[in-house]
Chain A
């Protein structure tokens, strides 16, 4: 084996190693890009950013509304009682009854 063949072997060895390195780098970059474009990354962070911006922009009134909205999910006992009583009132049934009487009395009074 002469020197020239050793040099050629080394050259091809280095070239192959370089090419393998490039291929691996390319594959790594591709995976990163795919990860950025995944729907999980695109959808999840946006509402968080929007919410933060909205909170900063909104006045105290909106903050009050938010508190009210939250209270709908964590209702104290008294608020539950409100709902129970509203069911007992049955507004549509009351309206059916009162509408007839009001109309009749309205005729007596204002016609």
Chain B
């Protein structure tokens, strides 16, 4: 690979969790010249941007294209994908748990406000939690890296929880499909990873059913 500043710029942005800037830099690098590093990086950063503006199809296309262009590189790409997907899945599990704490707190506050018949106080509780972006920033310390743009207009924290659960499922599905399509699913660390993802999804399935909410995928 020739020296390409855009790739260094993308790596710097990724390390600082400026994922959108990172994606743009990889795309600029690829516009100039195709490279293994740029395609791998783009696939991975798209995975991180699924909560913002990227879809599972974008990620899948980019991963497949990388394997198609650099077939010998697929094991390396798999390791990168597993590491990043694992990080994201635990991040999502953590967020769902944080939201649970917040929902319980809000419900308690609202119950107290209602019991005391303080109508204005009840309105205050509701408005302080009306925007998901505000809650997310509170929960993650200024929302560094992940602003969860897909849920910025959602008022109900339970809907956001289900949305994050779908992100978790999508991330698991991407890994599963990628390993099946490229005959990598027999590897032990892949099996272990997919088992872990399924356990996490199962632990939240009761929550999903009991909420009785639906969200467009």
Contact = CB atoms under 8 A, between A and B. Distances in A.
Nearest to A79: B210
A92 B104 CA distance: 12
A70 interface: yes
B133 interface: no
Contact of A54 (B90, B119, B206): B119
A62 B119 contact: yes
B113 interface: yes
B114 interface: yes
Interface in A61-111: 61-62, 65-66, 68-70, 72-73, 78, 81-82, 84-86, 88-89, 91-92, 94-95, 98-99, 101-102, 105-106, 108-111
B51 to A, nearest CB: 15
Contact of B123 (A47, A62, A82, A84): A62
A40 interface: no
B101 A58 contact: no
Interface residues of B, number: 39
Majority SS of interface residues in chain B?
helix
A8 B114 CA distance: 72
Majority SS of interface residues in chain A?
helix
Given A47-B117, A65-B122, A88-B206, A101 B90 contact: yes
A88 B202 CA distance: 12
Contacts of B96: 89, 91, 94
B203 A91 contact: no
A51 interface: yes
B36 interface: no
B23 interface: no
Given A101-B90, A102-B91, A110-B15, A91 B204 contact: no
A72 B111 contact: yes
B110 interface: yes
Contacts of A94: 93-94, 96-97
Contacts of B98: 91, 95
Contact of B114 (A51, A69, A85, A98): A69
Size bin of chain A's contact surface: 35 or more
Contacts of A95: 94, 97-98, 101
Nearest to B87: A105
Question: B16, B100, B203, B211 — which one has the most chain A CB atoms within 10 A of its CB?
Answer: B100
B101 A92 contact: yes
Contact of B87 (A72, A73, A106): A106
B86 interface: yes
Nearest to B15: A110
9 contacts: A54-B119, A72-B111, A78-B210, A82-B158, A89-B96, A98-B94, A102-B90, A105-B90, A108-B83
Interface of A: 47, 51, 54-55, 58, 61-62, 65-66, 68-70, 72-73, 78, 81-82, 84-86, 88-89, 91-92, 94-95, 98-99, 101-102, 105-106, 108-111
